[in-house]
Chains A and B, each alone.
Chain A
Amino acid sequence: MDLHFGDSKPTDDERAAVDALLGPPESSWEGADRSDADLRWARGGREARDRREMLLPGLHAINDRIGWISDGALDYLCRRLTVPPAEAYGVATFYAMFSVRPRPATVLHVCTDLACAAAGASELCAGVEARLGHGASVQRSPCLGLCERAPAALAVRAGDPVRTAVSAPATVEAAVLAAGSPDSAPEEPPAAMAVPQAGDPALTLLRRVGVVDPCSLDDYRAHGGYTALRRAFGLGPAGVIREVTDSGLVGRGGAAFPTGRKWQATASQPDHPHYLVCNADESEPGTFKDRVLMEGDPYALVEAMTVAGYAVGAHRGYLYLRGEYPRALRRLEHAVAQARARGFLGDDVLGQGYAFDIEIRRGAGAYICGEETALFNSIEGYRGEPRSKPPFPVEKGLFGKPTVENNVETLVNVLPILTMGAPAYAAIGTDRSTGPKLFCVSGGVDRPGIYELPFGATLGEVLALAGVRENLRAVLLGGAAGGFVRPDELDIPLTFEGTREAGTTLGSGVVMAFDDTVPLPRLLLRIAEFFRDESCGQCVPCRVGTVRQEEALHRIVRRTGAAAADDIALLREVGRAMRDASICGLGQTAWNAVESAIDRLGAYE
């Protein structure tokens, strides 16, 4: 590889931002001043190429410090990592939170997704745009995961250090204040405010949220923390996998794959090293449960990742956290550092001779990176495009090695499985959907938030808990990739099998209520727009199909009946091919919600 760099130079600030991450450059080959040694040897080769995985953190470092990524900064980063500039440019332009064009240091991300749109996001956008001057730019954002406090805005001010402030529920004044001085913006309410059941002793997954101090390892231990890991060491890796298999736990990220089987398949791979990846890239519109868990009980995730790593024989776990969650990032960075300092992570976890550590990677605004293989590419410093399967991650995952990937909720379930034992855990819920489940309830309800219920509760029961209002028009189950159901279908049992039988899906646990004041066609248009924005563009059915669907929905936004029939037929044909022929779940599910709105709600009749 003969890399070619342009002649644009980084500014001192840009250079400092990269050097703060990577350390000072050692030779002129990577941007230092030329020294005598440089005349005698050339640094590079395989050793340098292995640093590709630092590309995404490097882009964050520049974007955090300056607010955007200039030619000179990108070139310097490429020199430091021996990454071809064209490829780095491709990566930098892939993520919504990065810009390769100059922009103000402060960016106010205003959520325009479903719950926020229903709560007045467009008025908020118009208001802040009118009030904010040249020092800040307003960016319409996909779901910020703050649906219980809609409408939401996130201000990010570049600098050293980068400052963030969340305003939710946001008023024009509050959002402008957050953007104007992020440091003096009011503190966010504690995570427990998103858990209306907080403090209820019957809770399993959420029992510590609001009870424990999320910044104290000792408090976590005083509330039962690290008993699961001790039990895991007693059982041995095979014993842990047996418990998880016997518990009947299936993945909570939407695909519902049996966790024990996944772990067993990875643990038994002869190729090493094995990796553990925690998927905390929660970007499904309407989903915020992982954020609340991470903000309210961060050590639980650290412990659960350690247990999972131990079970599958991994010594390194990657926590891929979405870039729009600054508080979760701070809490988890703190938790990981504390756990490391106290011997709960590191070369010899709890003196058991097992080495495990966690590295946190920030996403940068790409829904597709929640797809498991796209997430691997993102960590490795490539564009977050999904890989084709097979081979599956258990065989060839992160860095081409056997990898287990689980989402936050799935991992946190492992703790009660080990502390209460598989039989007791499996007794919760139904035969085929065992354990507790978190539901993200938002929209037209009096008490939006995260609810924990055993599998088998009906949709109506969840909505009743959250205080559903009278004029309910539709419920979106499972998020933008899920489906709508009618108000007369509230007896659907919320289990994987129950929702499947009812022709819908549990997805990531989204329950979003819409009353009859919400214009359905506008909502469907927003869903189509979301998928068009978030398609990675790799395969034709998704890249072009999402555009053609959005165009058709635009055409029929004010039409019904026969006037809409042609375009609905077109939508169906394109949707069918997208479901059948797209590479990954994004394209395969992009049409689900709109289809269900047409079929179940009669959206255009």
Chain B
Amino acid sequence: MTVTSLGIPRRLLEFTIDGQAVRMPEGSTVLDACRAAGKDIPTLCQGDTLRPKNACRVCVVEVEGSRTLVPACSRRAEPGMEVRTDTERARHSRKIVLELLASSVDLSTTPQVAAWIKEYEAKPDRFGPDTARLNEEPKIDNDLYVRDYDKCILCYKCVDACGDQWQNTFAISVSGRGFDARISVEQDAPLTDSACVYCGNCIEVCPTGALSFKSEFDMRAAGTWDETRQTETTTVCAYCGVGCNLTLHVQDNEIVKVTSPHDNPVTHGNLCIKGRFGYQHVQNRD
């Protein structure tokens, strides 16, 4: 049985979202409240297991009295706050942010973004044919995973997951600045020369597919990747006694990648190299 800590009782805050009164426990974010109230706020850089970085700015909402728009993912709810989620001003910023992103990076493997682009009527092409893009080749320097920074929206989630929020390996950082900023390891070296321990927790949190399993990358390149034909089975890792949950993604009776449930109170979606990548023995038929 899993024992979930309830913590100390929390005060309920009262405020309004789009004119409708809501009550949320103290410490909730505006995004928590919006989702509880059934509002659909798009998010890209927000991660359920990480502290909000609020870098993408696609979740902005209007808060009465604030000069600028407010990122819903990180702003804590306050009593008496008047939040408006779907104003012309908020929608305009979301549309532009989607256009700016889609014009500079490849969002083809980012879940849900196509629907938001349609909903907000974003037209990434209107900046013209000569817009600056990353235009970088995928970095394939090891057998476990591929870094395709052409798809990177610089959400910092991999940095946070590798750093003090989960893994404490600190192998990844942001280098350079402005449009030239890139996720990189020290000296921009190959992953094999870096401090990386191949836990794959950065892949787990990557929202765009910029970091992916080599298996997934190869299958996509070959045109054989098909999520509709995949089943997901959650089981317990057999390598050691910790008991981490593994979700095996299986296509055509082959494990194609391994993730971990984020709501697991022990691992929160994190695994080690063995749990994440050590699955070939299961299907080695030679």
Contacts and interface: CB of A to CB of B under 8 A. Distances in A.
Interface string B161-192: 00100001111111111111100111111000
A573 B185 CA distance: 36
A390 B185 CA distance: 31
Contact of A551 (B130, B168, B188, B189): B130
Given A86-B185, A100-B187, A548-B127, A532 B96 contact: no
A424 interface: no
A547 B96 CA distance: 13
Contact of A577 (B55, B93, B172, B174): B93
Interface string A521-550: 000000000001111111111011111100
A551 B128 contact: yes
Contact of B169 (A2, A543, A576): A2
Q: How large is the interface on B (under 10, 10 to 19, 20 to 34, 35 or more residues)?
A: 35 or more
B131 to A, nearest CB: 6
Nearest to B67: A588
B68 interface: yes
A545 B174 contact: no
Contacts, number: 167
B154 interface: yes
B132 to A, nearest CB: 5
A268 interface: no
Interface string B120-150: 0000001110111000000000000000000
A227 interface: no
A573 B94 CA distance: 12
Interface stretch (B19-27, B32-40, B99-107, B221-229): B99-107
A487 interface: no
B44 to A, nearest CB: 9
A551 B128 CA distance: 9
Given A4-B171, A548-B103, A577-B92, A536 B178 contact: yes
A548 B177 CA distance: 16
A543 B103 contact: no
B173 A90 contact: yes
B179 A86 contact: no
A258 interface: no
B181 A4 contact: no
Nearest to B78: A390
B271 interface: no
Contacts of A535: 177-179
A391 B177 CA distance: 24
B173 A579 contact: no
A29 interface: no
A181 interface: no
Interface in B35-89: 54-58, 60, 68-69, 71, 74, 76, 89
Contacts of B175: 89-90, 93-94
A86 B54 contact: no
A375 B126 CA distance: 36
Contacts of B176: 93-94, 537
Contact of B54 (A6, A570, A583): A583
A42 interface: no
Contacts of B55: 538-540, 583
B195 interface: yes
11 contacts: A4-B171, A84-B173, A86-B186, A87-B170, A87-B173, A94-B175, A555-B128, A573-B96, A577-B93, A580-B69, A582-B57
A-B pairs, 9 with minimum CB distance: A84-B170, A4-B195, A537-B181, A90-B173, A577-B96, A544-B100, A85-B186, A581-B93, A86-B173
